[in-house]
Amino acid sequence: MDKESKAALMLHFHQGLSTADIGKLYQVFGSLDVVLSTGSEQWPEALLKEPLSKRARQSLNSLLRDKTALEARANDTLNWCQANEVHCLSIVDPLFPPLLKEIATPPTLLFVRGDVGLLSLPQIAIVGSRNATASGLNIASEFARMLAGSGFAITSGMALGIDGAAHTGALKTGKTVAVLGTGLDVVYPRQHHELYQQILDNNGAIISEFLPGTPPLPANFPRRNRVISGLSLGTMVVEAAIRSGSLITAKYALEQGREVFAVPGSIHNVLSKGSHHLLKQGATLVESAQDIVEQLGGMLAYTEMESSNKKIDSEENGSLLAALGFDPVDIDTLVERTRLPVATLNHQLILLELEGAVESSHGRYHRLM
């Protein structure tokens, strides 16, 4: 059993210690297990480097006395994780996402269901309104589909509206990461039970810094938002009101030194005001997924992104266009005609879409040139 994960759980269960406090302890000691194994007489000098709140200092005084009870609770949680195929990652775990470690107040503990390795791959966050327009939902879905097909994992908060559309679009061509504001065993909103399972069935990842059983409390969601932006190279806002969680996510992204992208909209749409505000603040205006690929494509070290910034060579281009013909065709028919693997075919189709040679609608592709 991982000592660091157990120590992180024990510290989280100990009343009086916030995530920030635990992070400071980690900065001082370099190990959460060492915090529990170090005598309290050795704490004050070390903690001068990273001052804790008065409440946290008082809490530390009782930490060792409560150790047995805290260990029992931690063991119960680790047993739950094992029984439910959940990874419990402490901040010192080699699988802990490296970008997330860089933010000002990273979570010291993550619960992960699904492909834990996905968290270390380049990610783009797509966020926006829960009450999005039909146009906004389509934009989120199409951007996610094309970016996921280009190699990015699409990260969002599994909320209604733009978040759900982004996850759904990404599942068509690649991978997606859902960050929850609840425990992993609490699906919120309830309407997304099916989406939750689809993400897992398609080798995605669902993560939370909150302990199992944590309900959807309002204070949890700003914390969730900083994780969404912290995991990602950039955050894209599709539709958002001026005062919205999406703008909070974008604010975190700016503070974390990450890129912020915004999709412009009608001046008559109240949900465009948030995006327009971000554009005035210096966010990058995006009109197509290619805008993001060109800016961040170099980060895709794990896949061949050179081809995403070039046109498909004339032989491949002509061959696939010939297979498309001039009538709408689905992916299964194209696989049969070209004998190409689905992943390769999806990649080439996305590049053709970026070039304006092909468009897709309702799962069917139509040649434009």
For residue 318, the model assigns a pLDDT of: 64
> 345, 338 in Cβ contact below 8 A?
yes
Q: How far apart are CA 26 and CA 23, in angstroms?
A: 5
> What separation in angstroms does the CA of 160 have from each of 124, 141, 144, 188?
18, 13, 15, 9
For residue 311, the model assigns a pLDDT of: 41
CATH number of 311-367: 1.10.10.10
Q: How far apart are CA 119 and CA 110, in angstroms?
A: 11
| Low pLDDT (below 70) residues in the chain | 1, 39-51, 61, 298-318, 341-344, 347, 350, 354-355, 362-363
For the entire predicted model, the pTM comes to 0.80
Q: From the centroid of its chain, how far is CA 119?
A: 8
Q: Give the SS3 label for residue 299.
A: helix
Q: Which two tokens stand for residue 154?
A: 């699409």
Q: What angle do CA 229, 234, 236 make, to 5 degrees?
A: 90
Each residue's pLDDT tens digit, 193-243: 999 999 999 999 999 999 999 999 999 999 999 999 999 999 999 999 888
Question: Using DSSP, how many helices (H) and how many strands (E) does the chain show?
Answer: 17, 12
For residue 308, the model assigns a pLDDT of: 39
For residue 309, the model assigns a pLDDT of: 37
Q: How far apart are CA 145 and CA 116, in angstroms?
A: 21
Q: What angle do CA 161, 166, 169 make, to 5 degrees?
A: 120
- As its CATH architecture, domain 116-299 has 3-Layer(aba) Sandwich (3.40)
User: Where do the structural domains in the chain lie, given as residue ranges?
Assistant: 3-82, 116-299, 311-367
In our burial notation (b when 16+ CB lie closer than 10 A, e otherwise), range 304-334 reads ebebbeeebeeebbebbbebbeeebbebeeb
For residue 247, the model assigns a pLDDT of: 94
